Amino acid sequence: MTPKKYGDLSNPENKFAKMIPYSNFFFDRYSISNQNKNFNRLVTITLYFKKELGKGLLEADSMDILNYFKKLDQKPIKKVTKIKYRGLLSSYYSYVSKFKAKMEGDDSFKNPVPPSEIWDFSGKKESLSIESIELEENVLTMEVVDKIFEYLYYVVESKRIFIAMSLILYSGARVSEVCHIELKNLDIKNRWFITRVKSKKSDKKDGIYFFPVFFTPELRGYITLLKEEYSNPKYLFQEGDSFLHPATLRKHMRRAKKALGLKVNCNPHAFRDFINTMRIEMRITKEIRKILLNQKSKDVNISHYAKKFKNRKYLRDLYDKCNPFKELIKPIPKI
């Protein structure tokens, strides 16, 4: 059960990935660091069903699954690891069931799973009872996002916080990158900003993000107020002599979650995951999503795109095609 015994999920030639239906969609839900760990865990379970039962992962019934975990419990493995295996499999079945139901109405959807009754575990009386450790569905919806922004505007009453969170939502940038935006690196007319990428998931060079046309006047209005407050601001989100600290945004998101009684993952990074999830539903390729999120790529030097004006325009046009937001989440009233 070594973390990478069955190879890297990102390798298109990985034969094990083909054994797990919808693997690319499912594992996109996880961070890069956890993708391969969970992929290898699921392959371990899949190979057991293939070898011991001659069944595929989605052909196993409730008794097959329960017997697997009985054997797993007898192995000298840490208890927390066993819990992760149970939670992972439960999360996978739950995801595939919802994904399959959602996509079957799409004419372009090609279902790799043969029609069966596996979703209710072949109709047997026994059911897979692992609710106590089932992974929580941390899925944002437009309705929930709308409520969060209502809270940020009407309760927090800070234009700076509201605009910063809006920019994170529309661009998909990391919270630290948005907080560090310098005015000299922001181009309102062309709708992009360049930032130094510090994440290990990136190429640690210059990154570039974009925002939609409809957000431009809101951003212009905010900058006008900013320059009235600070005579010569360095940062887009100036706070005193420095920039708005990421912890401030995280704090307000935690408060919004508590005030609204939300169960979903509620932090600034969740908006980055949200726009990425929406692009997955739009069937945007993984490589394009990586470029627009400034993630590490072996084939693309994002810094190269950030430095050349022509390439910036090309990426901006790509962003517009892949932008799931067609209007403001909430019209911003005048202050």
DSSP per-residue string spanning 161-199 = HHHHHHHHHHH---HHHHHT-BGGGEETTTTEEEEE---
**Arithmetic mean of pLDDT, 223-252:** 91
Residue type, 269: H
Least confident of 113-122, 148-157, 260-269: 113-122
Nearest to 219 by CA among 246, 191, 245: 191
d(CA 302, CA 318): 14
Task: State the DSSP string of 100-146.
Answer: HHHHTTSTT----S-S-SGGGGGG-S-----GGGPPP-----HHHHH
Q: Can you tell me which residue has the tokens 């595939």? A: 96
Is 300 a residue whose pLDDT tops 70?
no
* Residue 134: predicted pLDDT: 31
Contact 206, 305 (CB under 8 A): no
Strand partners of residue 209: 193
From residue 49, alpha-carbon distances to 65, 211, 312 in Å are 9, 47, 48
Using DSSP's 3-state secondary structure scheme, residue 239 falls into strand
Adjacency order of strands within the sheet including 186-187: 186-187, 192-196, 206-210
- What domains can be seen in the chain, in order of their start residue? 17-133 (no CATH), 142-321 (1.10.443.10)
Strand partners of residue 192: 187, 210
Least confident of 131-145, 177-191, 222-236: 131-145
d(CA 317, CA 319): 5
* Residue 303: predicted pLDDT: 62
- Nearby residues of 44 by Cβ (< 8 Å), 6 or more positions away: 1, 5, 6, 85
d(CA 28, CA 284): 12
Least confident of 25-29, 46-50, 73-77, 106-110: 106-110
Residues 49-100 have pLDDT tens digits of 888 888 888 887 777 787 888 888 888 878 778 878 887 887 888 778 777 7
From residue 263, alpha-carbon distances to 30, 145, 156, 165, 253 in Å are 18, 13, 20, 19, 12
d(CA 13, CA 194): 34
- The whole-model pTM stands at 0.57
* Residue 237: predicted pLDDT: 93
Residues 210-232 have pLDDT tens digits of 999 999 998 999 999 999 988 88
CA atoms within 13 A on the CB side of 63: 6
* pLDDT above 70 as % of the chain: 81
Residues 136-161 have pLDDT tens digits of 345 678 888 888 888 888 777 788 99
